[in-house]
Amino acid sequence: MPDDANPPFDLAGCLDRVRRKDQLAARDLVGHLYPLVIRIVRAHLPRRVAEEDLAQEVFMKMFSRLAQYQGAVPFPHWVSRIAVTTCIDHLRAQKRRPEFRWADLSENEADVLDAVMTNENDVPANDAMASRELVHKLLDQLKPDDQLVVRLLDLEQKTIAEIAVLTGWNQSLIKVRAFRARRKLQKLFQELKRRERS
Amino acid sequence: MNHDITNPRHPWARLTQAARQAPVDGDTAAPFGFATRVAALARDLRGASLLDRFALRAVGIASILAILSVAVNYPAVSAGIFGISGVALEDIDLLSPDDAVSIVLDLGD
């Protein structure tokens, strides 16, 4: 049942008003889409880039390309794609990837990594934050496009078809990237196992 | 260590499973003033792009006019250029007799 105090957002009407250069509508549109954009930005945030700056860039691209939006896909999907491609552009711009070393991990992160490599138990719930940091650091070792695919597949648990919609890449390319990325991760784990924690 | 990364017991699979349990950080509401700032920037961007379009057209028209004017006035321009280049530089009396430098040079002779 719709909430009378909080009526559903009229996206189509708002877009019409934005096209007629209504500033208030533009502001409402940004406010409405911000949670969607910021979630994507936070999930794929490159190092040393402020999330608000990246979100602003996404919205600027959205406004500058608004005339190209034909309504073939729902507007939030269209904006999601802009957000994902903006993040990947920033990831590609970061040419150097830091080396993954045991010494650079926090005590907690090193404990979690040590545990998952030496036993087959699940990671305790109170180590979730450390696990997330570790996953991000491991993903940083991959090429930007591979990083994005693995993040969407393994962290956000999206399907290949969903990733294809989100990125505009064809499904075969996504599978190739996922295969390549997982092979690289496997090598990384073997390397970490070989070096062990000092 | 399990060597199949897609296996749920592989360290990577267990790490990502734990990572998904981590609380989503931060507020997802737009910071105060963000929407107003972005809307204003977008308006400026639209204005600038219109100006850019006109500026580019103006550059194109100006270039065509410049080429046309050179083409129309080519005989006069070429006569002017060849008129000067046809005269040897030594033949041009660069120093007038009243010039202070030429007086000093004359005294030297």
- What DSSP assignment string belongs to chain A? ---TTSPPP-HHHHHHHHHTT-HHHHHHHHHHHHHHHHHHHHHHPPTT--HHHHHHHHHHHHHHTGGG--SSS-HHHHHHHHHHHHHHHHHHH--------GGGS-HHHHHHHHHHHH--PPPPGGGHHHHHHHHHHHHTTS-HHHHHHHIIIIIS---HHHHHHHH---HHHHHHHHHHHHHHHHHHHHHHHHH---
CA distances from A75 to A67, A92, A185, B24 (A): 12, 26, 35, 24
B60-106 per-position pLDDT tens digit: 899 999 999 888 888 777 777 766 554 555 555 555 667 777 777 77
d(CA B56, nearest CA chain A) in Å: 18
d(CA B22, nearest CA chain A) in Å: 5
* CA nearest to B12, candidates A185, A177, A151, A97: A185
Domain termination residue (choose one: A38, A70, A96): A96
**Binary contact (B34, A35; C-beta < 8 A):** no
CA distance B17 to B8: 9
Domain around A11:
1-96
Any idea what the CATH number is for the domain that residue A26 is in? 1.10.1740.10
Whether residue A120 is found in the same domain as residue A91: no
The pLDDT value recorded for residue A94 is 77
Domain ranges of chain B: 42-87
**Binary contact (B18, A155; C-beta < 8 A):** no
Q: Give mean pLDDT, residues A24-35.
A: 94
Whether residue A87 is found in the same domain as residue A174: no
The pLDDT value recorded for residue A72 is 87
**Binary contact (B38, A116; C-beta < 8 A):** no
Domain termination residue (choose one: A38, A71, A96): A96
pLDDT of residue A159 exceeding 60, the answer is yes
**Binary contact (B18, A127; C-beta < 8 A):** yes
Burial grade of B12 (CB within 10 A; 0-12, 13-18, 19 or more): buried
The pLDDT value recorded for residue A189 is 87
Burial grade of B61 (CB within 10 A; 0-12, 13-18, 19 or more): exposed
Domain termination residue (choose one: A96, A123, A148): A96
- pTM here is 0.69
Whether residue A104 is found in the same domain as residue A190: yes
Q: How confident is the model at residue A2 (pLDDT cuts 50, 70, 90)?
A: very low
Any idea what the CATH number is for the domain that residue A114 is in? 1.10.10.10
Structurally, chain A folds into a number of domains equal to: 2
Name the strand (E) or helix (H) holding A109: helix A107-118
What is the dihedral sign for C-alpha A182, A97, A132, A130?
positive
Whether residue A91 is found in the same domain as residue A66: yes
Whether residue A48 is found in the same domain as residue A139: no
What is the dihedral sign for C-alpha B57, B58, B59, B62?
positive
Whether residue A76 is found in the same domain as residue A109: no
Query: In this complex, is the C-beta atom of A112 within 8 Å of any C-beta atom belonging to chain B?
Result: yes
Whether residue A87 is found in the same domain as residue A102: no
Whether residue A157 is found in the same domain as residue A195: yes
CA distance B26 to B6: 31
Whether residue A81 is found in the same domain as residue A149: no
Inter-residue contact A137 to A185 (CB < 8 Å): no
Tokens 């990572």, residue located:
B19
The pLDDT value recorded for residue A44 is 85
* CA nearest to A31, candidates A55, A7, A66, A50: A55
Residues 160-189 of A with CB under 8 A from B: 182-183, 185-186, 189
Please tell me whether residue A110 adopts helix, strand or coil conformation. helix
CA distance B102 to B104: 5
Query: In this complex, is the C-beta atom of A35 within 8 Å of any C-beta atom belonging to chain B?
Result: yes
Whether residue A67 is found in the same domain as residue A137: no
**Binary contact (B19, A52; C-beta < 8 A):** no
A86-131 per-position pLDDT tens digit: 998 988 887 667 778 888 888 889 888 888 888 888 888 888 889 9
Whether residue A87 is found in the same domain as residue A123: no
